Amino acid sequence: MSENLRTIKELADEFNVSKQAVRKRLTEEFRANHVETVTSNGVKTLVVTYTGYMLLKQHFTTSNATGNDKVTDTSNPTTGDLSVVKILEQQLFVKDKQLENKDSQISQMQNLLDQQQRLALQDKQLLEEYKAEIKDLKALKMPSQETEFKHLDNQYKDEVNALKKQMEGLQEQLKEKDQELAQEKSKKWYQFWK
């Protein structure tokens, strides 16, 4: 394993406590921030990061539990505390940068949302204008169609009347022709017999 990553068994051995005592300290929040899962040869192993190691070390060295839980630390306790503080300061700095980044993203998203709402309002206004124009055009077109239909009706009626008059005139001409033919035939017969 890497120097920065330690298994639960390695921690228990180092702190002279049971694995259950170490697991008891691994809360959900602690696991989310300081525990990783490493797969080696198909075996999944939980490992604690260096920051998590320092926090566990601090807990087990300052614990007021029984003598078995207390760990004797040969290193200078203030040096360990300072390194934990430095690590936490670095993490805090990274988190601050992430928050600044998120704030700028939120600001950009708000600007985009505002622009989208403005565009939606403009689209709605244009749609209303188009609807009004279409309504006006329909209003103008409808009377012209009715007038056109009336005009066509009047035109057809006029044509029908004109055709009727022509037919009547032709029928009269036919009658006159028939009468003339009948008179000519009757004259010929009279002349033939005479």
Q: pLDDT confidence of 117, banded at 50, 70, 90?
A: very high
Model pTM greater than 0.75?
no
Mean confidence (pLDDT) of the chain? 79
Structure tokens at 153: 């009706």
What's the pLDDT score for residue 79? Answer: 57
170: helix, coil or strand? helix
**pLDDT number for residue 7:** 80
CB under 8 A, 24+ apart: contacts of 75-80: 80/54
Match 């709605």 to its residue by tokens.
124
pLDDT at 189 over 70: no
What Å distances lie between residue 63 and 17, 59, 60, CA to CA? 12, 6, 5
Task: Render pLDDT for 15-54 as a digit per residue (tens, 0 to 9).
Answer: 888 888 888 888 888 888 888 878 877 777 778 888 888 8
Strand 43-48 with 6-7, pairing: antiparallel
Flag whether pLDDT at 192 surpasses 70.
no
When pLDDT is cut at 50, 70 and 90, the band that residue 75 belongs to is: very low
Per-residue pLDDT of 129-174, as tens digits, reads: 999 999 888 887 665 555 666 666 778 888 888 999 999 999 999 9
By CB atoms closer than 10 A (0-12, 13-18, 19+), residue 80 is: middle
- Percent share of the chain, pLDDT over 70: 77
